[in-house]
Amino acid sequence: MLWNSAFALHLSRSADGCPLSTHRCVLHPLQGLSPPQQSLFLLVDSIDEGCQLGEAEPRGPPGSCRTIAELLAGHHQHLPPWLLLICSSRRQNKAVTKLFTGFRKISLDDLRKAYIVKDVQQYILHRLDQEEALRQHLTKETAEMLNQLHIKSSGCFLYLERVLDGVVESFIMLREIRDIPGTLNGLYLWLCQRLFVRKQFVKVQPILNVMLAACRPLTVKELYHAVWTKNMGLTMEEFQRKMDILSKLLVKGLGSTRILFHYSFAEWLLDVKHCTQKYLCNAAEGHRMLAMSYTCRAKELKPQEVQEFAMHLISSNLQIEPCNLALWMVWNGTPAKDSLTTSIPKEQEVLQLLVKAGAHVNSEDDRASCIMQQALEREDSIRTLLDNGASVNQSDSGGRTLLANAAYNGNLDVANLLISRSADLELADGHGQTALTLAARQGHTKVVNCLIGRGANINHSDHDGWTALRSAAWGGHSEVVSALLYAGARVDCADADSRTALRAAAWGGHEDIVLNLLQHGAEVNKADNEGRTAHCGRLHGPPGDR
């Protein structure tokens, strides 16, 4: 399986990247599959893409997953054992290294290793074998340049690709390889110096600013309209000439869109340390042009475009109060009311701006319930939606309320907020589980204590007869068991199979919990429907069943 990192930017803009959706839409289905005959691997290429925020880009709340890297780092341990996670990243990216501290590392660009040297040489030979346009440049005098190229590349295939593509296009001569710097950042600087003579870069800089700020790949027409808002005398013919100047730095995307050839070049354009002041771009200016572009057609925007409009306004570094930005959207006729019907933005500032501009969540709508569930990781998001008419007791398709989902995920702040808004503690989901039984099952002690303190029924049993104590004992959650016992939970409540918390703890091998239950008067000889007691668990150890 291949999960290309181009999806990372989409995920970072989407609320579907929250942990709750990840468990339901990805992890749980994977865990439910029958193991294949041989192990598989999930390859995530360039996982470091999107790990650095632009200066003006709004940040998600603490604990949210903004990128694929953050998402996988927080949940890879839940992947089934037959699925191996393999990620590629630039090794100098310390942010990714910190996220995946326990991973084994394999270097793919260390020229001290013979197999990497061989890979680089084979790539060059393969290009020569397959491309006549490249072979035409090869002579006795230039052959040595290819040897220099493989050394200068330092094992970076992107470096090799850009140089050889330039040779094929007759933009770079093989003999010039000796003059090209031996780093990717140096290559980018050399290419820009080669491409943009005199003041040409200043002419194309607005286009690059828009591309760097865009939430998604844009068509030529969309790029033109955004840049036109800054220079209304710009004709389409003049704009196309500017695009031609940039052509060697762009590639065609889906739907006739244009994108920069690689994410690392986009990062380079925003890093003055490497691109220098001469080629430094400004994403905030791109956000301003895109915001003006959306302003010009505000009445025609679709819900997702309204969210993009709000994001660009927030990211424009305009010295304008949020309430005035909301008026900006309202006075231009932006259809903000339905902008939250299908998804919720991850950035809290964007959500608040949309609500100020009139975005509405109908608590009776199934889609509204989905939006609320997506917001569960963010207390501020939940607060904003509740303040604007969303029901505190609404449930998802499985019958779980907002409070139940917050309890399941161990989100104490959200749980406290919902309880303060009079959330019903005893509403059960389709399996009969309340917020307390879910928190106990997952071992979230702080949430359990919170719910107990607010008067939750500690002896409630789900459709299988499991109480919070029974669930915590089976899961080995010692602190939760202690909290429930201290609160007066009945020790010998049995499930539908007559299995008590003591029997569950014994068969699970949780000796500390067994001792705790015995000290609180648990009945040792109470047998289940199959005649097995806690003693059997001590003799046989943890079984495959419950």
Which tens digits make up the pLDDT trace of 490-503?
Answer: 998 888 888 888 88
- Per-residue pLDDT at 228: 98
Q: Give the bridge partners for 85, in sequence order.
A: 42
The band of 239, judged by pLDDT with boundaries at 50, 70 and 90, is very high
With beta carbons less than 8 A apart as the criterion, state whether 279 and 192 touch: yes
The band of 362, judged by pLDDT with boundaries at 50, 70 and 90, is low
- Per-residue pLDDT at 48: 81
pLDDT in tens, 504-514: 888 878 889 99
| E strands, 313-388, in order | none
Instruction: Please tell me whether residue 3 adopts helix, strand or coil conformation.
Output: strand
Which string of DSSP letters, residue by residue, matches 162-219?
A: HHHHHHHTTSS-GGGGGGS-SSHHHHHHHHHHHH--TTHHHHHHHHHHHHHH-SS-EE
Comparing 70-74, 145-149, 235-239, 360-364, which segment has the lowest mean pLDDT?
A: 360-364
Comparing 46-60, 297-311, 405-419, which segment has the lowest mean pLDDT?
A: 46-60
Q: What is d(CA 349, CA 380) in angstroms, rounded to the nearest whole number?
A: 10
With beta carbons less than 8 A apart as the criterion, state whether 460 and 466 touch: no
DSSP classification of residue 461: B
DSSP classification of residue 2: E
| Residue entry with tokens 């005035």 | 324
Q: Give the bridge partners for 86, in sequence order.
A: 43
Decide which of 31 and 300 is more confident: 300
- Per-residue pLDDT at 358: 87
Identify the sign of the CA torsion 111, 114, 119, 122: positive
Identify the sign of the CA torsion 493, 498, 504, 506: positive
pLDDT at 437 over 60: yes
pLDDT at 318 over 80: yes
DSSP classification of residue 154: T
Comparing 61-70, 88-97, 300-309, which segment has the lowest mean pLDDT?
A: 61-70
**Which residues have C-beta within 8 Å of that of residue 353, sequence separation ≥ 6?**
310, 313, 314, 322, 325, 326, 329
Residue 528 C-beta-side C-alpha neighbours within 13 Å: 22
Which string of DSSP letters, residue by residue, matches 462-492?
A: -TT--BHHHHHHHHT-HHHHHHHHHTT--TT
Question: Under CATH, which number does the domain 463-546 receive?
Answer: 1.25.40.20
Mean pLDDT of 98-107: 79
Comparing 87-91, 185-189, 282-286, 413-417, which segment has the lowest mean pLDDT?
A: 87-91
Q: What is d(CA 180, CA 184) in angstroms, rounded to the nearest whole number?
A: 10
pLDDT in tens, 370-382: 555 555 556 777 7
Q: What is d(CA 444, CA 542) in angstroms, rounded to the nearest whole number?
A: 23
Distance of CA 85 to the CA centre of its chain: 16
**Which residues have C-beta within 8 Å of that of residue 541, sequence separation ≥ 6?**
509
Helix ranges restricted to H, 388-523: 402-408, 412-420, 435-442, 445-453, 468-475, 478-486, 501-508, 511-519
- Per-residue pLDDT at 158: 92
Helices 322-331 and 348-356 pack at an angle, to 10 degrees, of 50
The band of 346, judged by pLDDT with boundaries at 50, 70 and 90, is confident
The band of 24, judged by pLDDT with boundaries at 50, 70 and 90, is low
Q: What are the extents of the domains in the chain?
A: 2-99, 114-195, 463-546
Decide which of 212 and 342 is more confident: 212
Mean pLDDT of 465-491: 92
The band of 539, judged by pLDDT with boundaries at 50, 70 and 90, is very low
Q: What is d(CA 254, CA 216) in angstroms, rounded to the nearest whole number?
A: 11
- Per-residue pLDDT at 448: 95
| Residue entry with tokens 């970072």 | 12
Residue type at 127 in one-letter notation: R
Q: What is d(CA 69, CA 3) in angstroms, rounded to the nearest whole number?
A: 12
pLDDT at 544 over 50: no
- Per-residue pLDDT at 2: 43
Instruction: Please tell me whether residue 94 adopts helix, strand or coil conformation.
Output: helix
- Per-residue pLDDT at 50: 64
Mean pLDDT of 201-215: 96
With beta carbons less than 8 A apart as the criterion, state whether 441 and 411 touch: no
- Per-residue pLDDT at 535: 63
pLDDT in tens, 36-70: 999 999 998 888 876 654 444 454 444 445 678 88
pLDDT at 16 over 80: no
pLDDT in tens, 214-237: 999 999 999 999 999 999 999 999
Joined tokens for residue 156:
């970076």
The candidate with the shortest Cα–Cα distance to 428, out of 389, 391, 468, 390, is: 468
pLDDT in tens, 115-144: 888 888 899 999 999 999 999 988 887 888
State percent of the chain over pLDDT 70. 87
The candidate with the shortest Cα–Cα distance to 192, out of 280, 267, 286, is: 280
- Per-residue pLDDT at 3: 44
Comparing 18-32, 143-157, 490-504, 520-534, which segment has the lowest mean pLDDT?
A: 18-32
The candidate with the shortest Cα–Cα distance to 224, out of 205, 213, 240, 212, is: 240
